[in-house]
Structure 1
């Protein structure tokens, strides 16, 4: 039994050793586990808000607009840390569904601001309730201390690594 415990803790002890981190161990990497967590929590949230017809990515956009409205497409892209094309597609779907509308600013016709419609306002409570239910489940399963630790660790990792991968690819001549 002690041997099995040592075997299980071995990857944590050798995480820094390149030769020990072969591709078959990918399920034990931070990247894989973070992606898996994102997929599982998004699927759970989607199930909780299914009746709204809104996807989690759309709910995040609406969440920003509920905090502050109106916002420009560029500002939404910056706040959600997603590309301008991606936010544009999301806004197009929300606009087509009558949930948001885009309006040009009279003083600067180049600037387009995103506003919630009355229909968009009605989605606030069901989307918020789904998020609260999920947070409460995670709190019961993991506890507040572990959630805070995991959230802080992932946030710090994201801040430290954002831009690092594209900079590494650029220096290796992979990006043009």
Structure 2
């Protein structure tokens, strides 16, 4: 049997298609929020804070499933933009909590609208049922594979 007939075509592979979907949706989202001055990764941090403010850097990293150092870099950019501020707690001065500023709160509506508009487009193009099924399948795949690829995970060593 010829090796080329058994080797899967990479463009039809799950990994390639997942990466392509991520790139397409990321580029679309970036275009939708371009006027805000916020990058998609920053919007995800803000999203967590809009519903759970205040949070520590460790909590943000855990919730977003990324490394503490990556969250720290994102928070530094958001602080420079005047969107968040980090404050030490009175109870334990070693603990630093992340709070939204008024500017950060004002970004909620335009970023939420961009997300809602993107979801509507996906549901129109794919159909609501297929979009929901694809989302559920991706959630399941990410949960099952999250620990299967340790070299791809953003891990900070303590």
Partner in structure 2 of residue 30 of structure 1:
14
| Mapped partners of 1:73, 1:36: distance in 2 | 30
1:26 shift after superposition: 1.5
**Among 67, 76, 81, the residue aligned to 1:83:** 67
Q: Counterpart of 1:108 in 2: which secondary structure?
A: coil
Distance in 2 (CA, whole Å) between partners of 1:114 and 1:71 is 5
Provide the aligned length of Structure 1 versus Structure 2: 147
Listed one character per residue, the Cα deviations across residues 11-54 of structure 1 (whole Å, up to 9, x for unaligned) are xxxxxxxx7234xx211111111111111101101101111010
Q: Which residue of 1 aligns with 2:146?
A: 162
Q: Does 1:98 align with 2:85?
A: no
1:82, distance to aligned residue in structure 2 (A)? 0.6
| Residues 44-123 of structure 1 aligned to structure 2 (within 5 Å) | 44-123=28-107
SS in 2 for 1:164: coil
Q: CA RMSD in A?
A: 1.3
The equivalent residue for 1:137 is 121
Task: Describe the SS at the equivalent of 2:82.
Answer: coil
For residues 11 and 72 of structure 2, the distance between their equivalents in structure 1, rounded to whole angstroms, comes to 33
Which structure: larger Rg? 1
Q: Provide the rounded CA distance (Å) in 1 between the counterparts of 2:49 and 2:43.
A: 10
**Structure 1 unmatched ranges of 5 or more:** 1-18, 168-176
**What is the TM-score with the length of structure 1 in the denominator?**
0.80
Q: TM-score, normalised by structure 2?
A: 0.89
